[in-house]
Chains A and B, each alone.
Chain A
Amino acid sequence: MKKIKLDVRRTVTLSLLVSVALMLSYVESLIPPFIAIPGVKIGLANSVTVFALYLLNIRSAVIISVLRVSLASLLFGSPVTFVYSIVGAALSILVMALLRRADFFSAIGVSALGGVAHNLGQVAVAALIMENAGLLYYFSLLIVAGVVAGAAIGVISALLVSKIEPIIKKL
């Protein structure tokens, strides 16, 4: 009986977080690209991934991330954006999970490096699709964009974690 109860709770938590992440993806797709470099965005939905990484576990964060990217590409993207997003997300979550485990930085640093990893993954896909490694010309700017956006998302995530953690612990 207890086991079923736990599964329901987990399913509901994950579903809620996926829908929040999906909404954030949608909100972000409404923001016009304000910097003229492909791939530069804030990554609002990533705050949910960081949140899950801190308050749930790596597995949950991976599930949320994969579901969100798949659904967002299906709803507001294309197969091409799916490939870009999934590689970026995979690399980002790998780096963040390792850093989370190393416990050297707070959520801000973890998210910042996750943002860099995300952008590097996208540059790698672009280089493969375009069959031209020259795209690496922009990689320096994407590092800067990734670290800035990632740090901003990290601040949001850290705030969320510190506010919500006590509530979850009480449950």
Chain B
Amino acid sequence: MNSDLKEERSSRIFRDITLVFAVAFVGLFIYLITLITAKPGGYVKVTIDNGTPIYYSLSSRGDYQLNGGTNTLVISGGKAFIKDADCPDKVCENSGKISRVGERVVCLPNRVYVEIVEERGD
């Protein structure tokens, strides 16, 4: 391999690495900003299949069957999470607990959409 080609290749890989780190950094930066600016929420808004949303207070405590039992929503200690889902991928169960405005858990297969909002009707 001649040296020009080698140089061209290594400078290209350098550009690749710079690109990957730059994009990852920008993404993480935006994520940090959304985390810092997020306010603690007041209500859990549940939307099923784009229907009328149902609101549950975050200060309440309990298990709620959503969508006729396909997903179980648990609210406890000011945090909300999905305990059970009948879908195979279990993404919503693994999404963790949410408590800040704008955080959400989505179950795409069942079209169940759980979001933290500040006020009822947001």
Contacts and interface: CB of A to CB of B under 8 A. Distances in A.
Nearest to B117: A134
B23 A112 contact: yes
A140 B28 contact: yes
A112 B104 contact: no
B20 to A, nearest CB: 5
Given A33-B90, A104-B15, A106-B12, A137 B34 contact: yes
B91 interface: yes
B106 A38 contact: yes
A137 B103 CA distance: 7
Nearest to A110: B16
Contacts of A138: 104
Contacts, number: 95
B31 A140 contact: yes
A37 B26 CA distance: 18
Interface stretch (B63-71, B72-80, B107-115): B107-115
User: B interface, by DSSP: helix, strand, loop or mixed?
Assistant: helix
A142 B106 CA distance: 15
Interface residues of B, number: 33
A151 interface: yes
A105 B12 contact: yes
Given A134-B115, A137-B34, A141-B31, A109 B15 contact: yes
Interface in A29-79: 32-33, 36-38, 78
Interface stretch (A8-16, A88-96, A125-133, A163-171): A125-133
B89 interface: yes
A143 B23 CA distance: 7
Given A105-B16, A112-B23, A147-B20, 16 more contacts: A32-B90, A33-B89, A33-B90, A33-B91, A36-B95, A38-B91, A38-B108, A105-B15, A106-B13, A108-B16, A109-B20, A112-B19, A129-B111, A138-B104, A140-B34, A141-B27
